[in-house]
Structure 1
Amino acid sequence: MALGCNSQTWSKTSSWLTLTSSKPKYRSMHSNSYSKAISNGLAALLEEEESPEKSEINSPKEEVAPMAVDGLFLKSEKHSHENYSVMMKVGLDNSAEAEIGEVKVSSKIKRRPARLVVPESCPALEMQAYFGVFDGHGGSAAVNYVAENLGNNIITALQEFEEANDQSKEAIRKGYLVTDEKFLSQDVSSGACAATVLVKDGELRVANVGDCRVVLSRNGVATALTSDHRLDREDERLRIESVGGYVSCQNGVWRVQGSLAVSRAIGDSHLKQWVISEPEIKRIELTSDCDFLVLASDGLWDKVGNQEAVDMVLRHESYIESCKKLVDISSSRGNKDDITVMVVDLKNFKRRRG
């Protein structure tokens, strides 16, 4: 999402606080913007009108009564590139919450009924939470699909593996790969980067494809929990070249097949031989020195360093205010990309361990 404070929308979805701002980036093609909050297995989908690309995807259309979950639905202008954030909270009471800051290409507000996205009962997600930030490219179809389906596919895999001994890593991997496979079967173009966090049993399971990033503040010191999948990584270049692809530098940006600036993503069928959807997954113990997470798209990280982002959050009492400030800084430094920023307070999750 491109930063702009032309318009701002505050909403309360369950215990999630959301800020939406807007500044259009592109003047052509189509896209839409939404966020999702899930509480006790029910989803409130924050979404604009369906774009032509999204309408090609066979996503579930069932609707449930608006009272299922409080939700605000956003109507956005149409642009070619967008970001999403997703929050799922199952089995947690309102004391375990995250403050969310989001920036979107949003101009109007439209209310629509919430939709049932995950089962009302989900034993695999008791006392757990899921967060994600997604960044689309080449149109909106892939990012729409990933934002709506990746979390649910991970949940399904967690249920399949719940009898096994801590197979959450394999469940997350399967969730990513299944999402990619099912999106590709729709025969729709475009792709999406993703960074997700599963909070489970006093630990973080962090996964990513592409250049959305997750940063942990540990006693005020920033640690990147993900590694960007860009072509300046030698291991990624060698992987692509080993299967017959090539990487070239154009106007200072490394690209695969002269096209895409990331080496992993969901979708991108025309580059699938080289741009894989295999996520890198890390497991981090939640210790007493873990403060908060910053999840954001590359629109932030291209202009703001990891430690600078953490310092900005620490300087503000409100996570929402820190999110607003971060996107302001990125914009003031010449960012023209879309931005989504999310800050997740970890203190309540630590208290719930064991």
Structure 2
Amino acid sequence: MTNNLVSVHFTVLIFVYQFSGLLLINPEKVLGPSDSDSGKGKSKMKKHITHGFHLVKGRSGHAMEDYVVAQFKQVDNNELGLFAIFDGHSGQSVPDYLKTHLFDNILKEPKFWTEPADAVKSAYSITDSTILDKSGELGRGGSTAVTAILINCQKLVVANIGDSRAVLCQNGQAKQLSVDHEPSVESEDIKNRGGFVSNFPGDVPRVDGQLAVSRAFGDKSLKVHLSSEPHVIVELIGDDAEFVILASDGLWKVMTNQEAVDAIRDVKDARSAAKILTEEALNRKSSDDISCVVVKFQ
């Protein structure tokens, strides 16, 4: 009897250990700088739709400021794929807040299911206002963002502020879904708000000589001269859609959209594809934090 009990106990321990291990590597989660830098998952609605992500800390002296969201979520009878890159600056508090709250705020919008683009714009505005109100707690830093919501594997709602980017591959061709919000492009709007854009030799254009993007969450000291209105696009996922890449500017500073698409088009595993892109960015001497999400549709 004792031997049997020991055997049963041992078997239970093995099962618990294995089950715990599965939970530990479960990629269906929000990722912050203290978590694993890689993971993957798949849709329950269509098993061939998968996602993978990979993050690499840059060579700068500050802590990792990129955050990633990559998960599928059931909402009533619907499935949502929630994917995002939040690239923080001047601290981790704002991107950390975004990865915890932004998607919740979007899904709370009454018009999300009928007018998703309007819902996303409203949620971005509400979230930014809250971040500014909480500046005493969150600090005066900020963050860019690119978000993608895959609705029932059929519709992709992409929004962004700043220079984190979303690129769709259709029949091997790169199609940029986001807009890089650069101070040089929006200089007139910044001037009309009372700000200025400087471009010192050897540097990039900056709002008030400080920030290298013209739109961002947070940044209370610059907000009067910045916008937090996102660019939003709704893309139907047809048979020609192969995959979409979301990445921070640490990737796009050293790779074109088409180069990124070409680099992973023949890679079946989404996590491997994301890792290949981050490693290629490193090979090309990118010194910034690099975060990447790849969602495969085929």
Deviation at 1:200, TM superposition (A): 2.4
Match among 260, 276, 282 for residue 233 of structure 2:
282
CA distance in 2, matches of 1:216, 1:141: 30
Q: Which residue of the partner structure matches residue 188 of structure 2?
A: 238
Name the SS for the 2:51 alignment partner: coil
**Cα distance, 1:97 vs structure 2:** 4.1
Deviations 1:123-178 (A, max 9, x none): 4x813322111100011111111111111111111xx2257xx2111111111111
Give the aligned residue type for 1:173. K
Cα distance in 1 for partners of 2:246, 2:108 equals 23
Query: Partner of 1:103: helix, strand, or coil?
Result: strand
- Match among 168, 173, 187 for residue 116 of structure 2: 168
SS in 2 for 1:321: helix
Give the direction of change, closer, same or farther, for the CA distance of 1:48–1:222 in structure 2 (3 Å limit).
closer
Counterpart Cα distance in 2 of 1:335 and 1:239: 30
Displacement after TM superposition at 1:311 (Å):
0.6
Cα RMSD (Å): 2.9
The runs of 4+ residues in structure 1 deviating greater than 6 Å are 11-16, 85-89
Q: Is 1:299 matched with 2:250?
A: yes
Is this contact kept in 2: 1:16–1:99, CA < 8 A? no
Q: Is the alpha carbon distance of 1:312 and 1:144 closer, same or farther for their aligned partners in structure 2, counting shifts above 3 Å? A: same
Partner of 1:81: none
Identify the residue that residue 219 of structure 1 maps to in structure 2. Answer: 171
Offset of residue 299 of structure 1: 0.1
SS in 2 for 1:264: coil
Corresponding residue pairs, total = 259
The 8 Å contact of residues 215 and 227 in structure 2, kept in 1 or not, is answered as yes
Q: Normalising by structure 1, report the TM-score.
A: 0.66
Q: Tell me if the contact between 1:86 and 1:147 (Cα under 8 Å) persists in the aligned partners.
A: no
**TM-score normalized by the length of structure 2:** 0.78
- Aligned to 1:196, what secondary structure does the other structure show? strand
1:198 Cα deviation from its structure 2 partner: 1.4
Distance 1:292 1:252 in 2: 34
1:248 pairs, out of 172, 182, 198, with 198
Q: Separation in 2 of the partners of 1:311 and 1:129?
A: 24
- Long gaps (5+) in structure 1: 1-10, 18-36, 38-43, 50-72, 77-84, 107-119, 348-354
* Alignment-derived partner of residue 198 in structure 1: 149
Higher RCO, Cα 8 Å, sep 6+: 2
Q: Deviations over 1:96-118 (max 9, x none)?
A: 64231211449xxxxxxxxxxxx
Q: Helix, strand or coil for the counterpart of 1:100? A: strand
In the alignment, the residues of structure 1 paired with residue 249 and residue 264 of structure 2 have an alpha-carbon distance, to the nearest angstrom, of: 18
Q: Displacement, 1:48?
A: 5.7
Q: Which runs of 5+ in 2 are unaligned?
A: 1-20, 59-72
The structure richer in helix per residue is 2
- 8 Å contact from structure 1 (residues 218, 291) kept in 2: yes
- Matched-pair contact (CA < 8 Å) for 2:125–2:228: yes
Query: Which secondary structure state, in structure 2, belongs to the residue aligned with residue 270 of structure 1?
Result: coil
One-letter amino acid of the structure 2 residue matched with residue 136 of structure 1: G
Q: 1:45 to 1:314 in 2, by over 3 A?
A: closer
CA shift in 2, pair 1:139/1:238, >3 Å:
same
Write the letter of the residue equivalent to 2:229: E
Matched with 1:308 is 259
Question: Once the two structures are aligned, what percentage of the paired residues are identical?
Answer: 32
Query: Which whole-Å CA distance do the structure 1 matches of 2:23 and 2:56 have between them?
Result: 17
1:86–1:131 CA contact under 8 A, matched in 2 = no
**In the superposition, relative to structure 1, how do residues 193 and 127 fare at CA in structure 2: closer, same or farther (>3 Å)?**
same
CA deviation string 1:192-223 (max 9, x = no partner) = 00001112262211100000000000001001
Asked if structure 2 preserves the Cα contact closer than 8 Å seen for 1:312 and 1:326, the reply is yes
Change (3 A) 1:228 1:145: same
Question: Does the 8 Å CA contact 1:16/1:98 hold for their aligned counterparts?
Answer: no
The alpha-carbon deviation at position 94 of structure 1 amounts to 6.8
Contact 1:183 1:267 in 2 (8 A): yes
Q: Partner of 2:70 in structure 1?
A: none
SS in 1 for 2:224: coil
